[in-house]
Amino acid sequence: MNRLRIWRRWFARRFGYDRLACLALLIGLAALRVVDPAPVEELRDRTFDTFQHIEPRVKTARPVTIIDIDEKSLAKLGQWPWPRTYLADLIINLTNLGAVAIAFDVVFSEPDRLNPDVAAGTMRYLDEATKAKLRGLPSNDQILADAIRRSRVVLGETGLATAISKLDSSLPMTGFATLGGEAEPFLFEFPGLLRNVPALEQASAGRGLFTIRTERDGIIRRVPMVLRAQGAIMPSLSLEILRVITSTPTLLIKAEKAGIRSIAVRGLEIPTDRNGQLWVHFARQDPSIYVSAADVLDGSVPLDKISGKLVLIGTSAVGLNDIKTTPVSPAMPGVEIHAQVLESALTHAALARPNYAIVIELFAALLLGLLIITFLPNLGPVMLVTVGALFASVLAGTSWYFYTQHRLLIDFTYPLLSTTAIYLTLIFSSFVREQAQRRQIRSAFSQYLSPALVEQLAHSPEKLVLGGEEREMTIMFSDVRGFTSISESYKHDPQGLTALMNRFLTPLTNAILARNGTIDKYMGDAIMAFWNAPLDDAQHQLNACEAAVDMLQRIDELNRQRELEAQQGGHVYIPLNVGVGLNTGTCVVGNMGSDLRFDYSVLGDSVNLASRLEGQSKEYGFPIIVGSKTALAVKDKFAILELDFIMVKGKKEPEVIYAIAGREDIAQSGRFQRLRNLTIEMLACYRSRDWDGALAAIERGRRTDEAHALELLYHLYEARILNYRNNPPPADWNGAFALLTK
């Protein structure tokens, strides 16, 4: 049981149940994409619609002309269907004008109701001689068939929801070959097939289905290029036109395990989806490619409208009910959709959604989901929004890039929705967890940090590592010099001593907290503090030194107030002098203590050295003494003066120590520069055993106006030099001085 509890705690700390839940959600969303329910597919399709609406295909050529059975033609030639002699004349005129191929977006499934033999049987008032003459005339269907035979005409057929009769095997059919896997299982199938009258079928150069399959929402996005109708594989009207004009005997279907990949005619390969459908790259509606059928019949159409063109005969008349909705138009005639297919194919501008697109989309969703699950809990609010916006921009931008540059349809909505769902789940989980963490942190750290830092921790609890953590820190020890004597003056007034301690500890504490420091503990009149924990502080050395200088300034201000109060009250004034030791190094910080009581504290050799440096401030005559790592980090911001090379009791390696004499303005002053140069000269002579040179440098220093600032330091080195003259240091002496006191 204990092992299970330990494992659960470890798992919750290192990984987290929220991450586990998001992993399960990610897997579930991947399964949902594989199933691809209607809402997911419709959202994807709407996205592709938006792409085409924003940037439709730009026409670089107009290889197709539409002969339009429009309202003008119906008004002039009568209601549809017209006598097929009109259509024969239409074909003859178009052929004479130089049409490359002619295709009908209508089907002639029954004999013409105006055939002469039909008239002979229905017009009772005709005499037998007239009826016999009518029966001897060629039928309108035959006249149309003769016109079709003398040109290159592709007839339209349509699929039906039910089979109406057995297919006539004597009628010509387009041949197909398959390369790769099987294609038939992926083709859309119609139970029935409505064909043209046999005479027309026999005369035509090709036959294709003009059936257009709408999506669930009624929009035309894809056009089947190959279908199964009443058991037979049939080309679309557009594909059959391409086969006829390229003189391709057999259409080639390229398939793979995932479905159909493309369909090829001679010199042209058309990409399709797995079901053999072409994603139409729509252009805006183009009235310039329309010619009224009436104008062709009366010979008023310009030659350049027909010569060298593929001609589609269809209707835009509202009453004939062939108006479709596309991504770029709410009302596009069905015949123009076939024209757009031909334009896309012939100008190599067709869109493609390859079978591997789902693999790319799943991979993107899984990769981004895992990245979010891994890194998002460690990010702050601003970074969360930034990363979320970045991911959305990358997904949308990548999809747009593939559409505009490569005409590939890669869906970004699924990866975006997947990552958004995981993102929101983690946000909600983090919100619930952080509310509890904030209450705990406010309670635990209110005694260590400033209120601002406590709030920062409460809002960023991931920055806190409890239980012990190794990191580089800057440690401070401060103490009031001669506080024992001050305390004795209050031996009959303990409340006054308490008030005095609170009075000087408060500004010192405020100076530390104002510079992002953490109070470790109070030890009577002494303060221990540190920087770079529990919150990261890249400028911890600088902030610690700024706090130390601020502390001296605040104590000076307090002393001026106390001196004035002493004068007014007629009692003895004893100034407060503070010594500060600072050192930077690697420490262990965290909650330390027992199960019953613990403190957030810091341990390490660097802590001990900081304490020793504070104790030496009275010996060297400078209130702020720092270790070498601290000094090197702030040397450009403060007046740094090298003091000594010391060997601290208990340490094996000596340490160069420095004094901070002020901020950058002091460092740039001539006074400090003279002090610094004299000290450098004195130390150089001292460490090279040039005792006379060192003493001479000290004497020159004493003759300057700034002599009082270094008097304690000069006195310390004079005593050492006199001792070394009588008791020379060993031959391997490196200039280090062993401290005998703490």
DSSP codes joined into one string, 432-484: HHHHHHHHHHHHHHTTTS-HHHHHHHHH-GGG--TT-EEEEEEEEEEEEETHH
Give me the pLDDT at residue 99, please.
93
233-265 pLDDT, tens digit per residue, is 999 999 999 999 999 999 999 998 889 999 999
Confidence grade of residue 13 (pLDDT, cut at 50, 70, 90): low
Cα-Cα-Cα-Cα dihedral sign, residues 625, 627, 629, 632: positive
Residue with tokens 């930034």: 386
480-530 pLDDT, tens digit per residue, is 988 877 888 788 888 888 888 989 999 999 999 999 999 889 888 899 999
Give me the pLDDT at residue 662, please.
92
Confidence grade of residue 11 (pLDDT, cut at 50, 70, 90): very low
Give me the pLDDT at residue 172, please.
83
Give me the pLDDT at residue 207, please.
93
Please report, for residues 402, 416, 417, the alpha-carbon distance to residue 370 in angstroms, rounded to integers and kept in the order given: 24, 13, 14
Confidence grade of residue 464 (pLDDT, cut at 50, 70, 90): low
Q: In the beta sheet, which residues pair with residue 624?
A: 580
DSSP 110: S
Q: How far apart are CA 352 and CA 245, in angstroms?
A: 23
Residue 661 backbone phi and psi in degrees, to 5? -95, -5
Q: List the chain domain ranges.
A: 2-54+359-440, 64-346, 457-634, 664-742
User: Which carries the bigger pLDDT value, residue 377 or residue 448?
Assistant: 377
Confidence grade of residue 441 (pLDDT, cut at 50, 70, 90): low
Print the SS3 string covering 617-654: HHHHCCCEEEEHHHHHHHCCCEEEEEEEEEECCCCCCC
Q: Which helix (H) or strand (E) holds 656?
A: strand 655-663
CB 50 within 8 A of CB 39: no
What percent of the chain is modeled with pLDDT above 70?
87
Cα-Cα-Cα-Cα dihedral sign, residues 86, 90, 95, 100: negative
Q: How far apart are CA 356 and CA 639, in angstroms?
A: 67
Give me the pLDDT at residue 380, please.
65
What percent of the chain is modeled with pLDDT above 90?
42
* Nearest residue to 212 (alpha-carbon basis) of 124, 74, 370, 323: 323
90-99 pLDDT, tens digit per residue, is 999 999 999 9
263-284 pLDDT, tens digit per residue, is 999 989 999 999 999 999 999 9
Give me the pLDDT at residue 659, please.
96
Give me the pLDDT at residue 125, please.
67
CB 600 within 8 A of CB 534: yes
Q: How far apart are CA 234 and CA 176, in angstroms?
A: 9
19-71 pLDDT, tens digit per residue, is 778 888 888 888 888 888 888 888 888 888 889 889 999 988 899 999 999 88
Q: Considering only CA atoms, give the Rg of the chain.
A: 47
Q: How many helices and strands in the chain, by DSSP H and E?
A: 25, 27
Instruction: Tell whether omega for the bond before 56 is within 30 degrees of 0, i.e. cis.
Output: no
Q: How far apart are CA 235 and CA 241, in angstroms?
A: 9
Q: Are strands 329-333 and 469-481 parallel, antiparallel or unpaired?
A: unpaired
Give me the pLDDT at residue 203, please.
93
Instruction: Tell whether omega for the bond before 728 is within 30 degrees of 0, i.e. cis.
Output: no
198-230 pLDDT, tens digit per residue, is 999 999 999 999 988 888 888 998 999 999 998
DSSP 204: -
Q: What mean pLDDT do residues 720-734 have?
A: 90
Dihedral of the alpha carbons of 35, 38, 44, 46, in degrees to the nearest 10: 180
CB 68 within 8 A of CB 332: no
Determine whether 3 is exposed, middle or buried from the number of CB atoms within 10 Å of its CB (0-12, 13-18, 19+).
exposed
Q: What mean pLDDT do residues 551-555 have?
A: 95
Confidence grade of residue 570 (pLDDT, cut at 50, 70, 90): confident
Q: Is the pLDDT of residue 616 over 80?
A: yes
Cα-Cα-Cα-Cα dihedral sign, residues 461, 462, 464, 466: positive
Give me the pLDDT at residue 710, please.
85
Residue with tokens 């150089």: 684
Q: Assign a CATH topology to domain 457-634.
A: Alpha-Beta Plaits (3.30.70)
* Average pLDDT of every residue of the chain: 85
227-237 pLDDT, tens digit per residue, is 999 888 999 99
Give me the pLDDT at residue 456, please.
59
Q: Is the pLDDT of residue 453 over 80?
A: no
In this structure, the chain runs to a length of 742
Give me the pLDDT at residue 442, please.
62
Q: Which helix (H) or strand (E) holds 603?
A: strand 598-603
Q: Is the pLDDT of residue 4 over 60?
A: no
Give me the pLDDT at residue 10, please.
47
Instruction: Look up residue 97 and give its two tokens.
Output: 């004008």
Q: How far apart are CA 610 and CA 629, in angstroms?
A: 12
Q: Is the pLDDT of residue 459 over 70?
A: no
Q: Tally Cβ neighbours within 10 Å of residue 250.
A: 11
* Nearest residue to 261 (alpha-carbon basis) of 272, 246, 245, 277: 272
Confidence grade of residue 107 (pLDDT, cut at 50, 70, 90): very high
Q: Is the pLDDT of residue 440 over 70?
A: no
Q: In sequence order, what DSSP letters do the residues of 357-410 get, joined into one string?
A: HHHHHHHHHHHHHHHHHHHGGGS-HHHHHHHHHHHHHHHHHHHHHHHHHH-B--
- Any residues with CB less than 8 A from the CB of 228 and at least 6 apart, and which? 184, 187, 188, 189, 190, 234
Confidence grade of residue 546 (pLDDT, cut at 50, 70, 90): very high
